[in-house]
Amino acid sequence: MSHIPPELPPAHLRDPGDAWVESPEGTKYWGRFGAAGLLVWHPSAGILLQHRAQWSHNGGTWALPGGARRLGESALEGALREAEEEAGVPAELVEVLFESVVDLGFWSYTTVVVRALEVFEPVIGDTESIALEWVAVEDVANYDLHPGFAASWPGLRERLI
């Protein structure tokens, strides 16, 4: 099953970052230049989670809005762009708190953690989301989380509190 929906433009029209990277062991990671996601936290609303479309990598799980970084794009720029595209996150309503990087040497994923300055209504902006939901911090681990996010959530949560 392809992770790219048929309505996306052909490969020669996409950004060169929209490609798989393969580890020496054969594991595939999305994003030629790495990937980034935005963990949006609001003290009363909780964490903004994205229910990932079934066709996506680890589809059907809950994670953060995010994806492949574009050529020359910083992790912050990529995370903000992806969160706006996928969830309607307004960049002007978030304040960067910290970044957490998983660096495998040949590929990296950066979680950019931000505080929402006010609660906003997330909006599904593309086919990558089934649903978007504000989830209480203490309830996040009860969701069927994307394996990468599930592994990083305890450390991220600890830094939030």
Tell me the pLDDT of the chain averaged across its residues: 91
- Cβ within 8 Å of residue 158, ≥6 positions away: none
pLDDT band at 1, cuts 50/70/90?
Answer: very low
Q: Is the pLDDT of residue 74 over 70?
A: yes
Burial 28-62 (b: 16+ CB within 10 A, else e): ebbbbbbbbbbbbbbeebbbbbbbbbeebbbeebb
Query: How is the chain split into domains, by residue range?
Result: 11-20+33-155
Query: What local confidence, expressed as pLDDT, does residue 76 receive?
Result: 98
Per-residue pLDDT of 31-66, as tens digits, reads 999 999 999 999 999 999 999 999 988 889 999 999
Query: What local confidence, expressed as pLDDT, does residue 5 receive?
Result: 45
pTM over 0.85: yes
Query: What local confidence, expressed as pLDDT, does residue 13 receive?
Result: 55
What top-level class would CATH report for the domain 11-20+33-155? alpha beta
Q: Is the pLDDT of residue 7 over 90?
A: no
